[in-house]
Amino acid sequence: MQGPYQPYAPIPPGPPLPPRRDRANLVPLFIIIGVLAVALLGTLTYLVVKVGGDDDLRTGTVVTPTRAANPRAINAAFSGTWTGSGYYHNNDGEKRNFDATLTLTEGGETGTSSYTGFVCSGTLRVESVTPDKVVMYEVITQGNEPGGNCSDAATGYVTLTLRSDGTVLYSWYGNRDKMLSGDTSSQATLSRQQSSTTTT
C-alpha cells in the first residue's frame, strides 16, 4: 500500500536571459569602426606615397615624361638655304645643267625647292631624317604643266647627303624604287648660305 500522495517539487526557474540589444545602440559602434578604418587607410596611403617619392623630394628633381624625337623634323645640320649647280638627264637622255635653291627650316617637316634655268619650283615633304641624310618627296608646283620644263619630272624623291666639307650631295629620283636602288637622274653639290647680319 502506497503512502500518502507527495506532490512533485516545483522546478526552479533558469538563469535570467541577457537583456536584448537594441540595434539603435550599435550605430555609434559602427561609426567609430568606420572612422578608424578611413584613418588607417589614409595613413597607409600617405606612407606609400612618402616612401616612393623620397628620392625625388631629397634631390629636388621633378620627373617629367620625355617626348620622342620627331623622325621627320629637319635637324640643325640641314636647316637653312642651300644653293648650287648640278645636272639633269631628261627622259630623252639629254643632259641639262641647272642651279638649285632648297630652303629647309629646323624642326619643320616641309621645305621649298626652286630651279633656275628650268623656271620650276615646288614643295618638299620630309620622309625621314638621319644625322647625315634627309629623304624628301618633291612635288613641282610651277613648270609641271604640259609643255613645262619640269612636266616630265613633276614628282620625285630628293635626298641630301651631308659631306665632310659641310656641303651636301643633292640627288633626285623618279620614284621610290629608283631611290632605293640608287638610280639617280640628277645630282648637284649644294652649299649652305651664311645668314647675313647687320651691325650699327
What fold characterizes domain 80-192? Lipocalin (2.40.128)
> Per-residue pLDDT tens for 77-102?
999 999 999 998 877 778 889 999 99
Instruction: State the DSSP H helix or E strand holding residue 54, giving kind and residue range, or none if neither.
Output: helix 54-59
pLDDT recorded at residue 40: 73
- pTM for the model: 0.63
| Measured distance between the N- and C-terminal CA atoms of the chain, rounded to whole angstroms | 152
> Per-residue pLDDT tens for 132-158?
999 999 999 999 998 888 888 899 999
pLDDT, averaged across the chain: 81
> 99 - beta bridge partners?
85, 116
Q: What is the mean pLDDT of each run of 10 residues along the chain (200 residues)?
A: 55 61 61 73 63 49 61 94 92 86 97 91 96 96 90 93 96 95 94 67
